[in-house]
Amino acid sequence: MSLVVRDVTKSFGGFRALDAVSFAMDGAAMLGIIGPNGAGKSTLFSVVSGFMAADRGTVALDGRPLDRLGAAARARAGMVRTFQVPREFHHLTVRENLMAAAPGQSGEGLLGLFLRPGRVRAEEEAIGAEADATIAFLRLTAVAGTPAGRLSGGQKKLLELGRALMAKPRLILLDEPFAGVNPVLVAELGERIAALNARGIGFLVIEHDLAALSRLVPRVLVMDRGRVLAEGPPGEVLRDPAVREAYLGGAAA
Amino acid sequence: MFGALLVAGIVHGLIIGLAAMAVTLVFGIARFPNAAAGDTMTAGAYAGFLAHRATGSLALAGGAAVVAAGAVSLLGYLLVFRPLARRPVASLLVAAIGVAFLIRAVLGLMFGHQQQVFQVPLAWPIEVMGLRIPPMDITLAAVAGVSLAAAFGVLYLTSIGRQMRAVADDPDLARVSGIRPVRVMVALWLLAGAAAGIAGLMLGVKTVVSPEMGWEGLLSAFAAAILGGIGSPVGAVLAGLLLGVAQEVSTPYVGFTYKIALAFAVMLAVLLLRPRGLLGRVEEVR
Amino acid sequence: MEAYLVAIAIVGAIYVLLTLGLTVQYGLTGLVNFGHVGFFAIGAYASALLSLEGVPLVASFACAALAAALAAWPIGLVALRLRDDYFAVVTLGFSETVRLVITSERWLTNGVQGVPGIPRSFAGLGVGMAGSLATLAAIALVCLAVALALRRIARSPFGRVIEAIRDNEDALRALGKDPARFKMQVLALGAALAGVAGAFYAHYITYVSPDQFIPLVTFYVWMAMIMGGVGRVSGAVVGALLLMLFLEGTRFLRDVAPDLISAVDMASVRIGAVGLALILFTLYRPQGLVGDYTRR
């Protein structure tokens, strides 16, 4: 897996949200993205995942340029994002949320539904089993049959991760996976992510909880005002005076 | 021939432009296409018609149209759209259709379905640079001009107008900057109603007054609002003029009934090629 | 009396079919289709004109469905990638444009005079009760089959995706699925159902003209759907029955007391009642009279 982002620039009116952002991820890597509010982190996610068009610059996954693809096509290419504010399908149960994410279902075509009922049933069983396994892996079994709208904020974060997994990506973009998650669960969620990474899935993670992030990822990218300020191991980067100036406002510790 | 159609198109375009302004302000600020805008026009037309029949004064008719349509518009907001503000947009769309039907029904019951005609004195066309222009067209253009000047005065010179435009540009930004939404919304619905009322009055003078007139003009108003760019009052007026002239000039070729279909074609073309319209703000295609 | 009951049952069943079409589009997927009557009109005229050319009714019905679905395609292409509210405006404009085309293209549709003498369905059984009952049976069967098919769709992977679209389109795109592709199928399916309803209508009334296809019809269907409970297949049936009660009730009122209210005033009262119903249901009972809003 490799993600190469080069010179990505995005302006809103006169405001430059991203200014020639470049970085690369190799292998089954994990990369954290930190920076103050308004640094452009979420805009970067939106541009990389195809929810916004970049003004300039390129995004490539495994050497394949994605710039002409929309969000859905980029996800099919192997890169799935989650959202800062969870976007669960609130009428669907947790299990249905996960099942909806599975790719290539023949029951998703009106023709297939009526012409090949046997095949649709067999697929449903397989996808259901996979969803149950993912639910168990994320420790959501107790709420598997609950409409997703009724979950707690932390459970919704887990649900989004589970849904992303069902889409079989090689790279997952996590937008603040620990926000709103209780501290016990944060550690657990970190473990789950690390376990997935060990299985070969790459993660790009925006996170404000620096302690949790530092435990999770070997490298971070620091952004400020639409630019990349520094990149390196979390401990090292956070000692950089420029980073401290921008990120901590120079004030605290 | 072309000149006469051009003049007719400009007057017609001013009517569409005013109606489109009512649509685009609500679309930009209250965030839904208000299907009741057409019937608000009708309410203005009837009020203007009654005032004109009683007094013979077009100015008083304009005042009556503004007051009546403004009141109808504000009532719609207070009784229906405000309670629905936090619901999905589909609820607002359906309720707006309901409001439109209700206004039309009430007007039909009050005034009957026979078409009413403004009794305006016949006058010889005036020659201006070789163009024969009916004096009533000049009067109506003046009415529209004064109304537009007043509307843009409110939008660009008053504090409430600046707040309205700020909300149109960015509803979230406006919310955090201490703008009082209810006051802005009341002003918005009054202004949109007034613009629709004048449009209705002009349409009534140019054609006939009937309970269906506004609904029939709705599609052109929507098309112009989209062509002009949602949330842009200047765009709405420009697009209304363009559309009005295009409709009149094309009538000899496509026939009378396809005038409205032209509005639909323009709407489709804009949505296909440039969804943000002529002067619309840049909105990310989600 | 029996003839009257059969007649309103047939019209009621036509409304059931229309409401089922809208239920797929709005109830299950969230598409705000304000131009339903346009697809109804296309189906009615397509089947009427083809059958007058000698095409057998089975084929003309199929063509009605196909024509309506094909008409949905460009509409979907333009409007489905935009926000819901644009879709509502475009479909409303579409149905008005369909009526304008029918009015203007006299060579094809005979304009405002309309198309008379459309072959009656089951004409072989004569013009009396037998033919009407056969028509009623046929349309009731179609409604039943459609209702069962829709229930199957609602509980299938396809149903899961369209419900996900209603809940959060962006999340679905983030998972690699194109909402527009599913919406297009839903739009075409609902349009085809309206087209078939139009064919039944044309061959039952045996006369079509542009003034039968005004936007008010679209909102009769919306009213039926909302009253019955949005998003429920059974709600479509209940709502259409309530709608027939309303339409026939207002007509009955005028028949028994013609002095009380004139025909034009009654038309206004109907429009006003539809308007008021749309407002009040949206405000106070968005789940319909009997519906459960939280689950399908």
Considering only CB atoms, which chain A residues are within 8 Å of C173? Answer: 51, 70-72, 75
Confidence class for position A16, pLDDT limits 50, 70, 90: confident
- The answer, for A52 touching chain B at a CB cutoff of 8 Å, is yes
Other C-beta atoms lying within 10 Å of the C-beta of residue B171: 15
pLDDT over 60 at C223, yes or no: yes
Mean pLDDT to the nearest integer, A60-71: 92
Confidence class for position B181, pLDDT limits 50, 70, 90: confident
Domain locations in chain A? Answer: 26-53+68-88+152-247, 91-150
Question: How far apart are the C-alpha atoms of C187 and B137, rounded to whole Å?
Answer: 44
pLDDT over 80 at C13, yes or no: yes
pLDDT over 90 at A248, yes or no: no
Considering only CB atoms, which chain C residues are within 8 Å of A114? Answer: 149, 152
pLDDT winner (highest mean) among A202-216, A218-232, B108-122, C183-197: C183-197
Partner-chain contact A91 C182, CB within 8 Å: no
Quote the crossing angle between the two packed helices C36-52 and C179-205, to the nearest 10°: 50
Confidence class for position C286, pLDDT limits 50, 70, 90: confident
Domain locations in chain C? Answer: 2-213
- The answer, for C107 touching chain B at a CB cutoff of 8 Å, is no
User: Which of C268, C281, C287, C293 has the most B C-beta neighbours within 10 Å, making it the best mutation to test the interface with B?
Assistant: C268
Chains that touch A (3 or more CB pairs under 8 A): B, C
Structure tokens at C221: 């269907």
Residue type, C135: T
Q: Model confidence over A150-170: pLDDT tens digits?
A: 999 889 999 999 999 999 999
Half-sphere exposure of B167 (CA within 13 A, CB side): 25
| SS3 of chain A | CEEEEEEEEEEECCEEEEEEEEEEEECCCEEEEECCCCCCHHHHHHHHCCCCCCCEEEEEECCEECCCCCHHHHHHCCEEECCCCCCCCCCCEHHHHHHHHCCCCHHHCHHHHHHCHHHHHHHHHHHHHHHHHHHHHCCCHHHCCCEHHHCCHHHHHHHHHHHHHHCCCCEEEEECCCCCCCHHHHHHHHHHHHHHHHCCCEEEEECCCHHHHHHHCCEEEEEECCEEEEEECHHHHHHCHHHHHHHCCCCCC
Q: How many contacts does A have with B, using Cβ atoms within 8 A?
A: 7
Mean pLDDT to the nearest integer, C51-76: 96
Q: How confident is the model at residue A14, as a pLDDT?
A: 75
Q: Taking the model in full, what pTM does it have?
A: 0.91
Considering only CB atoms, which chain B residues are within 8 Å of C277? Answer: 98
Question: How far apart are the C-alpha atoms of B174 and B176, rounded to whole Å?
Answer: 6
B50 against B168, higher pLDDT: B50
pLDDT over 90 at A173, yes or no: yes
- Pick A96's closest partner by Cβ from C160, C168, C177: C160
Structure tokens at A212: 């949790």
Q: How confident is the model at residue A76, as a pLDDT?
A: 95
Distance from CA of B169 to the nearest CA of A (A): 11
Q: Model confidence over B117-134: pLDDT tens digits?
A: 998 887 788 887 777 888
Partner-chain contact A80 C176, CB within 8 Å: yes
Cα distances (Å, whole numbers) of residue B63 to B67, B136, C54: 6, 18, 60
Q: How confident is the model at residue C252, as a pLDDT?
A: 83
Structure tokens at A29: 């890597």
Mean pLDDT to the nearest integer, A223-249: 84
Considering only CB atoms, which chain B residues are within 8 Å of A12? Answer: 282
Closest chain A residue by Cα to residue C294: A91
Distance from CA of C170 to the nearest CA of A (A): 8
Q: Model confidence over B27-81: pLDDT tens digits?
A: 988 889 999 999 999 999 999 999 999 999 999 999 999 999 999 999 999 999 9
Closest chain A residue by Cα to residue C160: A100
Q: How confident is the model at residue A252, as a pLDDT?
A: 43
Chains that touch C (3 or more CB pairs under 8 A): A, B
Confidence class for position B135, pLDDT limits 50, 70, 90: confident
B181 against A59, higher pLDDT: A59
Q: Which of A 39-58 lie inside 8 A of C, CB atoms?
A: 49, 51
Considering only CB atoms, which chain B residues are within 8 Å of A13? Answer: 282
Considering only CB atoms, which chain B residues are within 8 Å of C216? Answer: 101
pLDDT over 70 at C260, yes or no: yes
Partner-chain contact C269 B258, CB within 8 Å: no
Closest by alpha carbon to C203, among C68, C10, C16, C8? C10
- Pick A120's closest partner by Cβ from C157, C177, C295: C157
Residue/partner pairs of B163-172 with CB below 8 Å, 24 or more apart: B164/B25, B164/B29, B164/B188, B164/B191, B167/B29, B168/B25, B168/B28, B168/B29, B168/B231, B169/B231, B169/B281, B171/B29, B171/B31
Confidence class for position A29, pLDDT limits 50, 70, 90: confident
- Pick C86's closest partner by Cβ from B91, B98, B271: B271
Topology of domain A26-53+68-88+152-247, CATH: Rossmann fold (3.40.50)
User: Which of C25, C148, C158, C160 has the most A C-beta neighbours within 10 Å, making it the best mutation to test the interface with A?
Assistant: C160
C34 against B256, higher pLDDT: C34
The strand pairing partners of A206, in sequence order, are A33, A175
Q: Would you say the ipTM is above 0.85? A: yes
Residue/partner pairs of C6-11 with CB below 8 Å, 24 or more apart: C6/C129, C6/C132, C6/C133, C6/C136, C7/C132, C8/C244, C8/C248, C9/C136, C10/C132, C10/C135, C10/C136, C10/C139, C10/C200, C10/C204, C11/C204, C11/C244
pLDDT over 70 at A204, yes or no: yes
pLDDT over 90 at C230, yes or no: no
Distance from CA of A16 to the nearest CA of B (A): 14
Closest chain C residue by Cα to residue A125: C157
Q: How confident is the model at residue B282, as a pLDDT?
A: 54
- The answer, for A55 touching chain B at a CB cutoff of 8 Å, is no
Partner-chain contact A88 C153, CB within 8 Å: no
Considering only CB atoms, which chain B residues are within 8 Å of C225? Answer: none
Confidence class for position A242, pLDDT limits 50, 70, 90: confident
Mean pLDDT to the nearest integer, B164-192: 78
Mean pLDDT to the nearest integer, A180-202: 88
Distance from CA of B221 to the nearest CA of C (A): 11
Domain locations in chain B? Answer: 13-118+128-214
pLDDT over 80 at C257, yes or no: no
Considering only CB atoms, which chain C residues are within 8 Å of B105? Answer: 268-273, 275
Confidence class for position B177, pLDDT limits 50, 70, 90: low
pLDDT over 90 at B256, yes or no: no
Q: How confident is the model at residue B173, as a pLDDT?
A: 62
Considering only CB atoms, which chain C residues are within 8 Å of B111? Answer: none
Mean pLDDT to the nearest integer, B262-274: 92
- The answer, for C257 touching chain A at a CB cutoff of 8 Å, is no
Partner-chain contact A51 B286, CB within 8 Å: yes
The strand pairing partners of A204, in sequence order, are A31, A173
Q: How confident is the model at residue A193, as a pLDDT?
A: 92
Structure tokens at A235: 């401990």
Q: How confident is the model at residue C296, as a pLDDT?
A: 40
Q: Which of C 223-252 lie inside 8 A of B, CB atoms?
A: 226
pLDDT over 80 at C79, yes or no: yes
Mean pLDDT to the nearest integer, B12-40: 95
Confidence class for position C292, pLDDT limits 50, 70, 90: low
Residue C258 in contact with residue B80, Cβ under 8 Å?
no
- Pick B91's closest partner by Cβ from C96, C276, C282: C282
Confidence class for position A107, pLDDT limits 50, 70, 90: very high
Give me the percent of chain B exceeding a pLDDT of 70: 94
Distance from CA of A167 to the nearest CA of C (A): 6
Confidence class for position B105, pLDDT limits 50, 70, 90: very high
